[in-house]
Amino acid sequence: MLILSRRPNESLRIGGDVVITVVGFSGNQIRLGITAPSNVIIDREEVHQRKIAEDVTNISSVPAAAERPSPTQTVQRRPEVRRRSRLQAE
């Protein structure tokens, strides 16, 4: 694990296109602003874990292989809805 110190309004960059900026802090909480391309999924850890648990439940509840699309079929996915955070609204 890499540990960095940053002050408010200072940033760090991950790869070439993800920037994390310290927006502020209060007590034992910090506020981070994240700038990333729209194809990068950003979740809090607890949300990520919940999604994984739901995926495992959904996979185990598929009753038969006949209902699954064959490898040659095209499956259309709904685009993900990205919610604006309070940080983006400011």
Does a structural domain hold residue 77?
Answer: no
The pLDDT tens digits of the residues spanning 12-50 come to 999 999 999 999 999 999 999 999 999 999 999 999 999
In a domain, 52, yes or no: yes
Residue 88 lies in a domain: no
Q: Which helix (H) or strand (E) holds 37?
A: none
Indicate the pairing of strand 18-26 with strand 11-14. antiparallel
Q: Is residue 20 part of a domain?
A: yes
- Residue 40 maps to a domain: yes
Say if pTM beats, i.e. exceeds, 0.75. no
pLDDT digits (tens, 9 = 90+) for 46-62: 999 999 998 888 777 66
Residue 17 located in a structural domain? yes
83 domain residue, yes or no: no
- Cβ-Cβ contacts under 8 Å for 8 (sequence gap 6 or more): 22, 23, 24, 25
H or E element that contains 18: strand 18-26
Residue 15, pLDDT score: 93
Number of structural domains, the chain?
Answer: 1
In a domain, 41, yes or no: yes
Q: Identify the domain containing residue 42 by its residue range.
A: 1-59
Instruction: Give yes or no for residue 63 having a pLDDT over 80.
Output: no
